[in-house]
């Protein structure tokens, strides 16, 4: 799992995740996600390149969303991969995160 961070403007950061968000990656990702949420008023997550997601990854996303709310900060998922959409729909989580389910277009 790779986590790239890009400052959009002051107080706003975008994190792009690539690869897996599973139990094997959760500990490594937790610190980076929490630091971003704590240090920025708005954090945008781009999950369009996530190719594997399990319940540990879902729990990590939910914990990060709750931490942002606790701090009065915003966390928005701005792009979703197919696997993320499938799991969000299966677990009925779209309402919890409150973001439109955005799937990147693929060229044919």
How many residues are recorded in the chain? 108
CATH 3.30.750.24 fits 2-97, yes or no: yes
Are the C-beta atoms of 70 and 40 separated by less than 8 Å? no
pLDDT for res 77: 94
pLDDT for res 108: 44
pTM here? 0.88
Flag residues of the chain having pLDDT under 70. 102-108
């Amino acid at each position: 799992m790779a986590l790239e961070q890009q400052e959009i403007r002051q107080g706003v950061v975008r994190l792009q995740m690539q690869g897996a968000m599973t139990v094997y990656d959760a500990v490594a990702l937790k610190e980076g996600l929490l630091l971003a949420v704590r240090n920025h008023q708005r954090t945008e997550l781009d999950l369009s390149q996530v190719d594997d997601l399990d319940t540990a990854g879902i729990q990590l996303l939910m914990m990060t969303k709750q931490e942002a709310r606790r701090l009065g900060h915003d966390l928005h998922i701005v792009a979703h991969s197919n696997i993320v959409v499938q799991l969000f729909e299966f677990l009925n989580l779209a309402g919890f995160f409150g973001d439109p389910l955005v799937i990147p277009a693929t060229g044919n």
